[in-house]
Amino acid sequence: MTSEAVVTQVVVIGGGQAGLAAGYYLRRAKLDFVILDARTEPGGAWPHGWNSLRLFSPARHSSLPGWPMPAFREGYPPAQHVVEYLTAYEKRYELPIHRPVRVRSVRRDPDGLRVETDLGDWTAGAVISATGTWWRPFIPTIPGTFTGRQLHTVEYRGPEQFAGQRVVVVGGGNSGAQIAADLAEHVDLTWCTARPPRYLPDEIDGKALFDIATTKPGGIGHLGDIVAVPPVRLARDAGLLTARPVFDRFDGQDVVWSDGTREPADTVIWCTGFRPALGHLSPLGLRAPDGLIPTTGTRAVGEPRLHLLGYGNWTGAASATLIGVGRTAKAAVTEIAADLS
């Protein structure tokens, strides 16, 4: 027997930056909505980053819609500053956030879309999925057996736990460069990247990246991959960030390259990215062979009552950033309001 569901106009799944941006515009549109967040505390993924994690741009260029992030006087804001801002933001706009609520599935229902959770069900005329990617870390499969420790970006906090170790960092993006720089003076570091590191010009920051990503076809790919934030710039200029190709296999305590070169390692840290956290949408049967859900803007092609927000460029240019998510959140809510009117 199916339990009775709470009825609302819109359910937002995820209480991080994308969910809050959606909530801001839903409040302005005077729609009845709830935000369901699986975390026990505000801030989305930001409370779970490594200790030295900072934004790529000043606070004034890292704001959600409606309320600028408070200034941070000492360079780019750290993750804790972002957490405090997001915590205050949801209180400022009195967003109806329920936490911790873990969404198990979204299904079609005669009355709309049924959102099934560990604390009961909701039925809504529209659902915004804003669960991000942090909760689905990706680690590639490497032949052989490694007897040391392996972890992903999501598990890294700081260099203290690796002092004196032989550490291999894999990944040529921002997280790989930042974590390699964080470790460089504390461990015997090997930094492996799929291709030689490509640094953006030193004057490029998050605001410039947003402007490029949202106004120029092809985005920033032709400029580079790594933002030279101060710690990365210092380590690079000191000669501490020398990259090698990614190794081919494990052999006990060693990582081994195709030419037979090997190095012993105590720990391998995989800074190899994430996949969208979309498991709760599986009952809708919307995924394409590439694992993504085809969309027009944020709207799912195969289920027009579903919008996907904040997962990256496939759901809106720069939509996985603080400054960028507002634009696509506004567009999504505008469509939803029209559908429900």
d(CA 190, CA 169): 6
> Which alpha helices (H) appear in 79-216, and where do they start and end?
79-92, 174-183, 206-215
Cβ neighbours of residue 43 under 8 Å, at least 6 residues apart?
16, 82, 83, 86, 87
d(CA 122, CA 107): 11
Quote the percentage of the chain above a pLDDT of 90: 83
For residue 176, what are its two tokens?
């790989």
For residue 57, what are its two tokens?
């741009």
d(CA 169, CA 194): 12
- Span 74-128, pLDDT tens digits: 888 999 999 999 999 999 999 999 999 999 999 999 989 999 999 999 999 999 9
Beta bridge partners of 8: 124
Four-point Cα dihedral 33, 322, 43, 59, nearest 10: -130
Q: Examine domains 6-135+274-340 and 149-270 and report if their fold is the same.
A: yes
Q: Residue 212 has what DSSP assignment?
A: H
167 in helix, strand or coil?
strand
d(CA 125, CA 9): 5
For residue 77, what are its two tokens?
């804001």
Strand ranges in the chain using DSSP code E only, listed in sequence order: 6-13, 33-36, 97-98, 103-109, 112-117, 120-129, 149-152, 166-170, 188-193, 243-245, 249-251, 254-256, 262-264, 267-270, 295-296, 299-300, 303-308
6-135+274-340: CATH topology: FAD/NAD(P)-binding domain (3.50.50)
pTM: 0.92
Cβ neighbours of residue 176 under 8 Å, at least 6 residues apart?
169, 170, 191, 193, 271
Architecture of domain 149-270: 3-Layer(bba) Sandwich (3.50)
Classify residue 96 by burial, with Cβ atoms within 10 Å: 0-12, 13-18, 19+.
middle
Place of tokens 């696509």: 328
Q: Residue ranges of the domains in the chain? A: 6-135+274-340, 149-270
d(CA 326, CA 304): 21
Quote the percentage of the chain above a pLDDT of 70: 94
Cβ neighbours of residue 231 under 8 Å, at least 6 residues apart?
52, 178, 181, 182
d(CA 15, CA 27): 15
Residue stretches of the chain with pLDDT short of 70: 1-2, 205-224
